Structure 1
Amino acid sequence: MKKIEKSLQVQRIQLTDLEFQEAALKKALEDVEGKTQSHQKLISESEGMLSELNEMLQSIDLQDLDLEVVEKSLEQWDTKENVTIESTTLRELTSTPIHAKHSIDYERSIEAYIREHKLILSKEPFDDLMSQTQKKQILETVKKDYGYEGATCDQYDYIFATFSGLVSGLVDVFFVGSPTDSILQKWTDKKVDETVISFSKFIFNKDKKNGKQVKKAPDNIASAIGYLERRYKVNYDARYAKDLVMGDKVLNMSAKNHHLKSLGHSPDIIGLFFSILDQFTGKASFVSEGKILRLVPKDNSFELKGDTLVAKVIAGFFNWLGHLMSDIAGSSGTRGHINKSNGAGIPIPFYNLLQLCNFGSFDVNGDKKTLAELSVKVFEEGYDFRAGLTMAIPVAINELMIRVYFAFKSYFYHKKSFKESLPIGKNLNLQRMLIVGHGVLCLTDGVDAALRSKGQALLFATRLNLVAWVRLGFLGFKEAKSLYIQKMNELDLKKFDQDLEIEWTRIQKQIEEG
């Protein structure tokens, strides 16, 4: 930008110099033209008088000539205006063209011109370079090209978004429900089991190929989980508080909820961080009742593999991922053994952060529970990662319907290009339709949960589609941000800078090409 500012200011100074010269030249030409016309008039008058004199001389007899009359006529001619031409002086032109074959030479020429003419450049060049009218026009153009416009959805967009949200809401009500009575949950559990078995077979074949002593390939969910548990052991996999050196600390944990309270079992960036931290330090991190606890496992035989720091980090990552796969479908002790129980899986991403919310009062079977305690009870009812996948189905249906509608309408009705019609990226109309659709989905889900729970906090929470509500909250935040930016008349500065860079590159290329 500094290079552009200097170049524009120098060009503006040269242009001003030329404008002064042009004005002076026009004034000189006007003066010359005025004097020429005046002289032509005198010449015409003189020619007329000479013609009259000639006629008079021809008609006068020299013998009868009255010399006094002739002298008086000559005196009158002497009083006529003399013909004079004044010269107009033009000031010397100081602006010389700046020539350069390359952008670097051009920049040097600009700097040399500034030094030679001792120019003092303004700190606000664009303010000085433009008139008020030009500033107003540019401001309107910039706002039009780079300003944030509001959504322009029509009635059909809102109708379809509402319809999509209602359809998705009905899918949630009748096919998702709660983990205890969900129809789609059975399909999700089956797909998760198949994924775990396939993953365990893949790891088994890799180990066998690398020469490890492995006997039988996993052929069911229990054996697959057991193989992965042995293959990816971690030091933070304590099931009870008695497996840890507690000291004076208190941790209410059981086999049903230890995946929730162990931070390393969270399938998100938080879980990855604490998993690697625990593997490096030999401790185990837990969150319970608003507190984060760092405890030492009694069985401290775990050793992180790797000779270098990078190797240890990579090994820690694969231990975290492999151990999550061993727990996502429950434990080997419950799957396939105890009344066909699904066991306790891993939590929904970031769900364990609710353990920090040790406030509120909810009635759970006659006992008052905080939000942290309520979230534990909900998890124990089967509200785990598999339930989260099931809850994501109506959300995905809603997203797909609205995005397909948006793409087809943009391409076939508004006649936009294929690229502009893609239902991705930042588009305020698409964002508005999504927030309406997910709002209707959440409204349907909330009404159903309220009616079926009959005031029971635990039942209400298990029937609530957390994935849909989180998605709605995220869209609501984006909508609020867009409305704020629109109200503040802010500009898309990133796009503005990109266009300036493209234009400056084009100018440099033209200069280099001559």
Structure 2
Amino acid sequence: MGKFWPFRRNSSNDGTNASSIQTVAQNVEYQNIIRLQDPDDGFIVEYELAQIDALQTMNSDVREKIAAGLNDVELRIQKNEDRIQVLRVEEDRLTNHADSFDYAVAVASGLLTGTIDAFFVDEFDISKSKGWSNQQINTLVMRAARKEGYTGDRLSGAIKKLEDKYKFAGDGVYQLAENAGHNISNKSHHLDDFRHHPTIIGLIYSLITQFSSDHIAFFSNRYGENFSFLVADDGDLIGHTFKEKIIAGTFNWVKHLISDMSGSNKTSGTGMGLPGPLLATLKEISALPAINETELSEVVNDLFVNKKFNLQSEIALGAELGRQSLPVILNEVLVRAFYFVRHFSKEYQKAKNLNYIQWENVLPIKYRTIARMLTISTGTFMAVDMADAAIRSAVKSGGNAVGFASSFVLRVNFVGIGRFVIALGTDIGMEIQRQRVQNEQIQIYMEQIHLCNARVFYKQADMWLSAKEAGLAIRDAYQSVERAVALYDRTLVENDRALTDIQKNVKAIKKKNAGLIDDILEDL
């Protein structure tokens, strides 16, 4: 690698032959220095020489590092470009592209279904569906009993058939708690005994009774106090093998719960029955540490014992919500169907062939546009529903605030409220996701700028390395010229010396051989 020193002039002349350029090699601080000097004007140039083989090795290593670094940068740039493409698609999905026509259809759908709800869906009343739910439960009990050989027509007989065949280990152990003053009664024991819950927790506690060494039964009273009692080994009610325990804890458990759904054989159709999955879950939650110190357990107990909110009530509640859900479902279907038809038409016009349609752009799911349309339609539905509820409640209450409030609550479509909240939450959630996608794109673009700068630096380094190699080639050429000049200088000196010698011997030559001079001049 050449190291060029500043040009400098010497004021004195060293008296060397003016027609030659002298080259002097010396070692300065272990560096090879070439000095070019013109004795005429004292002009001197010095530069450093490195060994060519060592320099080539160094250049090769540097080029490999440059190539590796440049390749890494290119790979990262391409990876970022691929990620940006994915993010652009995701951003488009999370961006609302609805136009005025989409909004108009969404509002129209909300108005139509809201009107249907106002005129065809009556106020919320569980008592209307309670008779139907009782009938469904009684039918289920009768079917289960007939599968076990029952031939009668009375519900009490069917319940007794199931109770006799599918006795429950420790079914009467609640009496121990009642006698001990633990606030567990005959009316509440189906709620307080977790094994009578038609939930996964109820199944787990049923298996615990089978597999625990002391056959423990767990209870939680109306105040959230938890107790456990030992269950006697009631003959065949506790399995003796693993298989028997599983059957007794699952199959027998299910059949016993069916026998309790409509009350006992003495109170068939009018007994406490079983708590439904919703109330049973609330009871299980109320027994948890810290939560059992609240009033939740008392509220749950009051609902079951005093309000008789049991399994039949929950089925009736589901039926009422199902009735309210009809206009909500219709609203959903209308909006999604419109979205599908419109976007299918657009895609078909582009593709001209069903085989080339991008179905992900047609299906009315996972896109911000359909989420926004559903937010508009469900919001419109709720506006119509609440306006109707307010008008009817005002007329019915006659200006009484309490009457208005109670009537208004019963007239509101709870399913519609829930669907509007979900639609609004989905819309807002997609906006948050879109902002995150945009922020990630900005970060990637910033990284791309740095990577592009790095790519420029690597290419500049390669360019300078090539320039250095070109400089070395020029130096080699200059050295060749320098050697040629030196050879030319030596030739001139030798020729001059030869001519001088000839001049000294001209007279002697003329005397001895007069024609030799003419021959030499002719040759020259």
TM superposition score normalised by structure 2: 0.49
**Structure 2 CA distance, aligned partners of 1:440 and 1:303?**
61
Change (3 A) 1:370 1:428: same
**Structure 2 CA distance, aligned partners of 1:445 and 1:292?**
46
Structure showing greater Rg: 2
**Structure 1 CA distance, aligned partners of 2:309 and 2:389?**
17
Aligned-partner residue type, residue 276 of structure 2: I
Look up the match of 1:293. Answer: 226
Aligned residues: 336
Look up the match of 2:274. Answer: 346
Match of 2:266 among 308, 311, 333: 333
Change (3 A) 1:126 1:346: farther
Tell me if structure 2 keeps the 8 A contact 1:266–1:350: no
Aligned-partner residue type, residue 88 of structure 2: T
The reply on whether 1:312 has 2:245 as its aligned counterpart is yes
Look up the match of 1:237. Answer: 171
Give a deviation string over 1:4-46, Cα, whole Å, max 9, x none.
Answer: xxxxxxxxxxxxxxxxxxxxxxxxxxxxxxxxxxxxxxxxxxx
The reply on whether 1:217 has 2:145 as its aligned counterpart is no
Tell me if structure 2 keeps the 8 A contact 1:403–1:423: no
Look up the match of 1:428. Answer: 371
Change (3 A) 1:434 1:382: farther
Change (3 A) 1:385 1:217: same
Match of 1:384 among 306, 310, 332: 310
Change (3 A) 1:309 1:390: same
**Structure 1 CA distance, aligned partners of 2:169 and 2:331?**
46
**Structure 2 CA distance, aligned partners of 1:334 and 1:292?**
29
SS of 1:291 mapped into structure 2: coil
Tell me if structure 1 keeps the 8 A contact 2:197–2:274: yes
Q: How does 1:28-427 map to 2 (within 5 A)?
A: 127-129=76-78, 134=81, 138=85, 140-144=87-91, 147-149=93-95, 154-158=103-107, 160-161=109-110, 164=113, 174=123, 177-178=125-126, 182-202=127-147, 204-205=148-149, 216-238=150-172, 241-244=174-177, 251-281=182-212, 282-289=215-222, 291=224, 293-296=226-229, 300-301=233-234, 303=236, 309=242, 312-335=245-268, 341-355=269-283, 356-357=285-286, 370-380=295-305, 381-397=307-323, 398=325, 400-406=329-335, 408-412=337-341, 414-415=343-344
Aligned-partner residue type, residue 143 of structure 2: S
1:193 offset after TM fit, Å? 1.0
**Structure 2 CA distance, aligned partners of 1:446 and 1:251?**
46
Tell me if structure 2 keeps the 8 A contact 1:442–1:469: no
1:334 offset after TM fit, Å? 0.4
Change (3 A) 1:351 1:379: same
Give a deviation string over 1:338-364, Cα, whole Å, max 9, x none.
Answer: xxx532122221323444559xxxxxx
For the aligned residues, what is the CA RMSD?
5.2
Tell me if structure 1 keeps the 8 A contact 2:222–2:301: no
Give a deviation string over 1:286-326, Cα, whole Å, max 9, x none.
Answer: 23346362421565526556565465334422122212211
Tell me if structure 1 keeps the 8 A contact 2:263–2:270: yes
1:224 offset after TM fit, Å? 1.6
Tell me if structure 1 keeps the 8 A contact 2:169–2:237: no
TM superposition score normalised by structure 1: 0.50
**Structure 1 CA distance, aligned partners of 2:190 and 2:236?**
21
Change (3 A) 1:393 1:402: farther
Unpaired runs of at least 5, structure 1: 1-114, 206-215, 336-340, 359-368, 492-514
1:135 offset after TM fit, Å? 6.5
Change (3 A) 1:237 1:230: same
Aligned-partner residue type, residue 207 of structure 2: I
The reply on whether 1:483 has 2:409 as its aligned counterpart is no
Aligned-partner residue type, residue 379 of structure 1: F
Aligned-partner residue type, residue 346 of structure 1: L
Change (3 A) 1:157 1:192: farther
Give a deviation string over 1:412-457, Cα, whole Å, max 9, x none.
Answer: 555479x98888999736874896599689979998999999979x
Tell me if structure 1 keeps the 8 A contact 2:197–2:275: yes
Tell me if structure 1 keeps the 8 A contact 2:378–2:423: no
Unpaired runs of at least 5, structure 2: 1-63, 288-293, 346-356, 438-524
Change (3 A) 1:429 1:287: farther
**Structure 2 CA distance, aligned partners of 1:471 and 1:376?**
30
Change (3 A) 1:324 1:446: farther
1:158 offset after TM fit, Å? 4.8
Aligned-partner residue type, residue 259 of structure 1: H
Aligned-partner residue type, residue 153 of structure 2: D
Look up the match of 1:74. Answer: none
Tell me if structure 2 keeps the 8 A contact 1:287–1:293: yes
**Structure 2 CA distance, aligned partners of 1:124 and 1:304?**
73
SS of 1:154 mapped into structure 2: helix
Tell me if structure 2 keeps the 8 A contact 1:334–1:343: yes
